[in-house]
Amino acid sequence: MYRLKSMAAVALACGVLLSVGGRAETAEKQVAQYVRFQVADTVAYGIVEGDRVRRLDGDLFGQWKPTGTTHQLSDVKLLVPAQPSKVLAAAHNYRSHGGDTAPPEVPQFFYKPPSCLIAQAEPIVIPEGATNVQYEAELVIVIGRRARNVPEARALDYVLGVTCGNDVSARDWQKNDTQWWRAKGSDTFGPCGPRIVAGLDYDDLLVQLRQNGEVKQQERTSQMIFNVSQMVSFASRHCTLEAGDLIFTGTSGQTTNIAPGDVIEVEVEGVGVLKNPVAVP
């Protein structure tokens, strides 16, 4: 009775009534939190219940059912919360970051390779030869099911939830290389996590970044030039989005350099804190 497609799974976890087609219908918005974690040699998805996580049997992005097995969150290793086929990232999606540049007329995406993703507590490694490496705190959209040519009005039906992200960027490579493949996609340049949260108002969340405890970025997603529905819809018109794919939604304000020994925290309201140290090879 608990075996449902991923979008309906959100409703099940929250205890709401389901309608035809797996869409949740409820009088008030509910919130569900999911993690991908490891215990010993076992990797699984789970639903967060306070300070514990309940293991799921199956695939969060396919079919699953809750089990009777729970763990203390403090006893598990949190992993990157999805295994995407692709990672898109939006450039210049906040006016405060674009400076004097005219705002784009359509979302401006680039690719980050999935190999750049790292999880909570894993180190951001500054590669040899990279200079002027900076943080970028971002809300990250997690796609829940295959999306192709999706209208804006239905785009949120294809979103499982959101998580925290840090679009680490080597500015000299970004400026001087023809493509951003290493400036934005070097190993460890995509911290992501610690959990996926569904049921929030994704277009009005506070996103903060702290460097060694000092707040360096702070802006609400309501200030994005393109909102979540617009970005998902636009991307789906040009490339098929698969379950688990990620969309980094752009960063705000100004950014500064990171250095070995720093601790970088990205906090998204209602989602949690993504914390990563900075290191050298």
Residue 4 has pLDDT above 50, yes or no: no
Alpha-carbon Rg for the chain, nearest whole angstrom, is 18
Q: Which residues contact 229 (CB under 8 A, 6 or more apart)?
A: 152, 153, 155, 156
Structure tokens at 256: 């500064």
Q: Which of 205, 144, 154 is nearest to 11 (CA)?
A: 144
How confident is residue 5, by pLDDT bands cut at 50, 70 and 90? very low
Please tell me the predicted confidence (pLDDT) of residue 29. 66
Please tell me the predicted confidence (pLDDT) of residue 73. 97
Residue 99 has pLDDT above 90, yes or no: no
CATH 3.90.850.10 segments of the chain: 87-279
Q: What angle do CA 136, 138, 144 make, to 5 degrees?
A: 145
Please tell me the predicted confidence (pLDDT) of residue 101. 83
Averaged pLDDT score across all residues of the chain: 91
Tell me the CATH architecture of domain 87-279. Alpha-Beta Complex (3.90)
**Residue 212 main-chain phi, psi, to 5 deg:** 55, 40
Residue 100 has pLDDT above 60, yes or no: yes
CA gap 229, 221 in Å, rounded: 12
CATH 2.30.30.370 segments of the chain: 6-78
CB 48 within 8 A of CB 271: no
What's the rounded mean pLDDT across residues 83-92?
Answer: 98
For residue range 140-196, list pLDDT tens digits in order.
999 999 999 999 999 999 999 999 999 999 999 999 999 999 999 999 999 999 999
Share of residues in the chain with pLDDT > 90 (%): 86
Structure tokens at 164: 């925290």
For domain 6-78, the CATH superfamily is: FAH (2.30.30.370)
Residue 121 has pLDDT above 50, yes or no: yes
Reduce the secondary structure of 83-137 to three states and give it as a string. Answer: CCCCEEEEECCEHHHHCCCCCCCCCEEEEECHHHEECCCCCEECCCCCCCEECCE
